[in-house]
Amino acid sequence: MSLHLTDVTLTFPDGDTRLTALDHVSLDVPRGDLTAVVGPSGSGKSSLLAVAATLIAPDSGTVTIDGTTVTGLSRGDQATLRRRHIGIVFQQPNLLPSLTAAEQLQVMAEIDGRRTATARRRALELLDAVGMAAHHDRRPHQLSGGQRQRVNIARALMNDPTVLLIDEPTSALDQERGAAIIDLITRLTHQRATATVLVTHDRTHLAAADQITEVHDGRLRAVQGQS
Ligand code: ADP
Ligand code: MG
């Protein structure tokens, strides 16, 4: 199935009132599709990803992943769901400085109690899929910004997620490296049939998207491909 946000509203305390970060937002992302989300700074893009990732509970509305309404689950069940079904790529590749590329990935499986040998094999496969096989034993300081972002993306795929949520992955990269990262995300989305939401400020990335959604003041507007 896929990822569905239905009528999601999210507010934050703001002095005596509340600031509306997401205003009755609905979004459907089928598996194997790349949905691009664009919009000015402060429009609600990261908030949308945080709600979809179950990191923030909305004031109202629901998030459904593979037919399960995840907004109603306990915090513990949401954490399990995140580990098993959701891949998150934050803007900054927050890799652990002391670990090699392969170990960054293995940690994800070990947190979930899986066997080390299996995790290692899968980590090396994924590093190969993102073009980083030759660098599997390098630590973050030995990698370029683009290479770190590739490791970051591979790590998000470690648990074979249904949903892949990616926040401005190219903001620290030049045009050419940024385009290569978007190509990679597009290919992985189709190959691994993830329901992918890509937040980007770069309009040249939109050509790769199956649907494009624009956010303004917490409201969504379909630009292309959505009925
Ligand atoms: P974007 O990612 O599009 O730049 P955000 O989703 O980060 O936008 O923010 C949307 C709005 O919500 C902004 O006005 C921002 O200041 C506010 N906001 C985001 N996170 C918080 C928070 N934790 N507490 C209070 N306000 C927040
Ligand atoms: Mg943001």
Q: Measuring from atom 16 of ligand 1, which residue has the nearest CA?
A: 42
Question: Which range marks the domain in which residue 106 is found?
Answer: 3-225
Confidence of residue 227 (pLDDT cuts 50, 70, 90): very low
Least confident of 13-17, 76-80, 176-180, 190-194: 176-180
Which pLDDT score, from 0 to 100, does residue 223 have? 85
For residue range 141-156, what is the model confidence (pLDDT) as tens digits?
999 999 999 999 999 9
DSSP the chain: -EEEEEEEEEEEEETTEEEEEEEEEEEEEETT-EEEEE--TTSSHHHHHHHHTTSS--SEEEEEETTEEGGGS-HHHHHHHHHHHEEEE-SS----TTS-HHHHHHHHHHHTT--HHHHHHHHHHHHHHTT-GGGTT--GGGS-HHHHHHHHHHHHTTT--SEEEEE-TTTTS-HHHHHHHHHHHHHHHHHHT-EEEEE-S-GGGGGG-SEEEEEETTEEEEEES--
Q: Is the shortest distance between the CB of 169 and ligand 1 below 6 Å?
A: no
Domain count, the chain: 1
Q: Whole-prediction pTM value?
A: 0.93
CATH number for 23 = 3.40.50.300
For residue range 77-100, what is the model confidence (pLDDT) as tens digits?
999 999 899 999 988 778 999 999
Confidence of residue 115 (pLDDT cuts 50, 70, 90): confident
For residue range 35-53, what is the model confidence (pLDDT) as tens digits?
999 999 999 999 999 999 9
Task: Give the closest ligand to the alpha carbon of residue 47.
Answer: 1
Residue 40 CA to ligand 2 center (angstroms) comes to 9
Q: Which atom of ligand 1 is nearest to the CA of 40?
A: 3
